[in-house]
Amino acid sequence: MKRRVVEISGDAVSDLNALYDWIADRAGPEIALSYIDRLEDYCRGFDMASERGHQHDDIRTGLRIVGFERRVIIAFAVE
């Protein structure tokens, strides 16, 4: 299995911050932080399992899409 470098784009960081704010407003900052931590840990796991999810080269070469905890869809590129 090939180990890859996981890079989180600036747009993804903005999305994570907005998601944190949305959850914190509704459920509190501790729950929001816990969720974002789990989501980031899951994404860091792409270093060894980057081929997971569904491939969508028809949209963008290398694009893959995978669900997270039945609530979020993560789109990422494998290069």
Which one has a higher pLDDT value, 51 or 30?
A: 30
Is the residue at 5 inside a domain? no
57, pLDDT greater than 80 = yes
40, pLDDT greater than 90 = yes
Is the residue at 1 inside a domain? no
The average confidence (pLDDT) of the chain is: 91
The number of distinct structural domains making up the chain is: 1
Per-residue model confidence (pLDDT) at position 39: 96
Instruction: Please classify residue 3 by burial: count the beta carbons closer than 10 Å to its beta carbon, then call 0-12 exposed, 13-18 middle and 19+ buried.
Output: exposed
Is the residue at 70 inside a domain? yes
Domain enclosing residue 24, as ranges? 10-77
Instruction: Please classify residue 50 by burial: count the beta carbons closer than 10 Å to its beta carbon, then call 0-12 exposed, 13-18 middle and 19+ buried.
Output: buried
Is the residue at 55 inside a domain? yes
Distance of alpha carbon 5 from alpha carbon 1, whole angstroms: 13
Q: Are 56 and 63 in contact (CB under 8 A)?
A: yes
pTM exceeding the 0.75 threshold for the entire prediction: yes
